């Protein structure tokens, strides 16, 4: 198993290029199942989750051709309609194949998904969405068995008690693209990755209007064609590098990013003392030598992303005063706090609120990654800690960050990957 050894203290400087978004690439790859014609997806990030999704499509019988960072998927008419447990258990986004298989072949069997251990992750909204479109769903022996004579468009209220769901919006939007008639998703998620998926689907013949608003209208079509797409850049990776710059009091240029997707994140960075210069595809962050405390509340987009909560907790652990983080999306997503406390941080968790009393400097320690974003938070903390930090179980991190150690090394960080014997 690999781990990172980090010698903290270097102030990050230079340029980093952000990869295409994992959370946009995964649904776009699944959406290739909606057509028998080939779809080419460019600039695919080399990530474990992306490999898992490509493996899943291939196990269903799709023809997959990879060429460097580009993959061509051709999902012919003879596909298996069962997503196997061995693959689905590795990644939550595997359930993205449910909507496309059901819409195109009227049948699908998908095991309950795995993914990051960040608290309860129900799938009731996915099931409700498919049922509203006319599917019969049975949940038994750990899998979802779905069938339909044909899907029919309708109005679907998709919001749950924790707000809109990215995954359910994705699944219903894909299924409704091939349903008879018009579907309106009420309470849709607004994330940029949803807009990117809608734009891709429209480019292959779907009729989706108002993606990015809370009411998405989808007029079903008989068939979709093939096409080519490059997913948007990864706003969470960009935000993670901004945190790495902030905690090391560095100055970096973050290229191939979309600052418009980082609105509230940049507001928070400014509020703690970072200068941010935004232009079309890049962002320059110049961090203060003393970081101020702040208050963060996670919320669905355009609110502060839960996927950057852990990274900001690391940064705020050395701010000059007490900060509060309220986690409203995954209410118990705080496993990183205990590990940060091993590094000297003073963080207390009360229900879904973290109280972070800033200290002068973190100290290097052995820490363990427990989920994707928690792992990168520990790496970020290690960059600023006195002495050596080892972060084990970084397979979590490899699910979502492409060549992270090389990117950090280019910015001057002292980080290396070692394999435990
Ligand atoms: C996606 C992202 C993940 C991010 C999350 C929230 C991908 C591949 N993953 O996950 O990185 O952390 O959005 O921004 O894009 N919920 C229900 N019922 C459901 C589904 C969700 O109650 O059927 C709840 C969840 O428990 C959570 C909230 O809705 O409290 C939002 O979850 P959701 O947006 O669905 O997250 P994912 O799509 O799984």
Give the confidence band of 142 by pLDDT, cuts at 50, 70, 90: confident
Ligand 1 pocket residue status of 160, Cβ below 6 Å: yes
What number is the average pLDDT over the span 385-402?
Answer: 94
Note the pLDDT tens digit of each residue in 355-379: 999 999 999 999 998 889 999 999 9
Q: Rounded distance, CA 398 to CA 206, Å?
A: 33
> Best substitution site from 25, 156, 167, 374 to test ligand 1's pocket, by max atoms within 8 Å of Cβ?
167
pLDDT > 90: percent of the chain: 87
> Best substitution site from 47, 91, 121, 400 to test ligand 1's pocket, by max atoms within 8 Å of Cβ?
121
pLDDT computed for residue 162 by the predictor: 82
Contact 267, 297 (CB under 8 A): no
pLDDT computed for residue 62 by the predictor: 98
Give the confidence band of 160 by pLDDT, cuts at 50, 70, 90: confident
List the residue whose alpha carbon is closest to atom 37 of ligand 1.
167
Q: Is the pLDDT of residue 139 over 90?
A: no
> Best substitution site from 124, 160, 352, 371 to test ligand 1's pocket, by max atoms within 8 Å of Cβ?
160
pLDDT computed for residue 84 by the predictor: 87
List the residue whose alpha carbon is closest to atom 32 of ligand 1.
165
Ligand 1 pocket residue status of 40, Cβ below 6 Å: no
The per-residue b/e assignment along 360-381, b for 16 or more CB within 10 angstroms, e otherwise, is eebebbebbbbbbbbbbbbbbb
Ligand 1 pocket residue status of 168, Cβ below 6 Å: yes
Superfamily name with CATH number, domain 22-229? Enolpyruvate transferase domain (3.65.10.10)
Tell me, in angstroms, the distance from the centre of ligand 1 to residue 167's CA. 6
Ligand 1 pocket residue status of 197, Cβ below 6 Å: no
pLDDT computed for residue 118 by the predictor: 47
List the residue whose alpha carbon is closest to atom 31 of ligand 1.
165
Tokens of 87: 């693959």
Ligand 1 pocket residue status of 162, Cβ below 6 Å: yes
Ligand 1 pocket residue status of 93, Cβ below 6 Å: yes
The three-state secondary structure class of 76 is coil
The CA-atom distances, in angstroms, between 128 and each of 108, 200, 255 are: 15, 25, 40
Ligand 1 pocket residue status of 142, Cβ below 6 Å: no
* Residue 274 designated active-site: no
Ligand 1 pocket residue status of 304, Cβ below 6 Å: no
Nearest atom in ligand 1 to the alpha carbon of residue 123 is: 23
Q: CATH 3.65.10.10 region(s) of the chain?
A: 2-19+233-419, 22-229
Note the pLDDT tens digit of each residue in 240-277: 999 999 999 999 999 999 999 999 999 999 999 999 99
Ligand 1 pocket residue status of 86, Cβ below 6 Å: no
Tell me, in angstroms, the distance from the centre of ligand 1 to residue 298's CA. 13
- To the question of domain 2-19+233-419 being in CATH 2.10.25.10, the answer is no
Q: Rounded distance, CA 8 to CA 405, Å?
A: 14
Catalytic residue selected from 39, 116, 243, 274: 116
How confident is the prediction for the chain on average, in pLDDT?
A: 95
The DSSP annotation for 81-146 comes to: -EE-HHHHTT-GGGGGGHHHHHHHHSEEEEEPP----SS----HHHHHHHHHTT-EEEEETTEEEE
The CA-atom distances, in angstroms, between 365 and each of 157, 378, 388, 394 are: 47, 10, 7, 15
Note the pLDDT tens digit of each residue in 197-244: 999 999 999 999 999 999 999 999 999 999 999 999 999 999 999 999
């Amino acid at each position: 198993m690999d781990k990172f050894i980090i010698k903290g203290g270097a102030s990050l400087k230079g340029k980093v290029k952000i990869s295409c978004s994992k959370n946009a690439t995964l649904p776009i790859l699944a959406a290739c199942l909606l057509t028998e014609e080939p779809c080419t997806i460019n600039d695919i990030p080399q990530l474990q989750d992306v490999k898992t999704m490509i493996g899943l499509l291939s196990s269903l019988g799709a023809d997959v051709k990879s060429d460097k960072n580009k993959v061509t998927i051709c999902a012919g008419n003879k596909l298996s309609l069962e997503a196997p447990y061995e693959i689905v258990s590795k990644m939550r986004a595997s359930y993205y194949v449910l909507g496309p298989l059901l819409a195109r072949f009227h049948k699908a069997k998908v095991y309950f998904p795995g993914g990051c251990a960040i608290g309860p992750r129900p799938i009731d909204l996915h099931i409700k969405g498919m049922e509203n479109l006319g599917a019969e769903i049975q949940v038994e022996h750990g899998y979802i068995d779905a069938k339909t004579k044909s899907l029919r468009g309708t109005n679907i209220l998709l919001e749950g008690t924790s707000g809109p769901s990215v995954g359910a919006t994705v699944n219903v939007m894909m299924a409704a693209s091939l349903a008879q008639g018009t579907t309106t998703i009420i309470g849709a998620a607004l994330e940029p990755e949803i807009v990117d998926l809608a734009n891709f689907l429209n480019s292959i013949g779907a009729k989706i209007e108002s993606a990015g608003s809370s009411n998405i209208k989808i007029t079903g079509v008989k068939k979709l064609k093939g096409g080519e797409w490059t997913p948007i850049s990864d706003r969470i990776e960009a935000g993670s590098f901004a945190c790495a710059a902030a905690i090391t009091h560095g100055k970096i240029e973050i290229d191939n990013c979309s600052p418009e997707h980082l609105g509230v994140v940049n507001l928070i960075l400014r509020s703690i003392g970072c200068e941010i210069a935004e232009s079309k595809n890049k962002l320059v962050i110049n961090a203060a030598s003393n970081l101020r405390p702040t208050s963060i509340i996670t919320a669905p987009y355009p609110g502060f992303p839960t996927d950057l909560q852990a990274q900001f907790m690391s940064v705020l652990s050395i701010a000059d005063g007490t900060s509060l983080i309220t986690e409203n999306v995954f209410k118990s997503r705080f496993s990183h706090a205990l590990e940060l406390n091993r590094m000297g941080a003073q963080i207390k968790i009360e229900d879904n609120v973290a109280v972070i009393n800033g200290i002068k400097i973190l100290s290097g320690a052995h820490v363990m990654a427990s989920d994707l974003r928690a792992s990168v938070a520990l790496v970020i903390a290690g960059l600023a800690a006195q002495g050596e930090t080892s972060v084990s179980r970084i397979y979590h991190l490899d699910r979502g960050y492409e060549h992270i150690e090389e990117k950090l090394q280019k910015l001057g960080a002292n980080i290396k990957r070692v394999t435990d014997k």
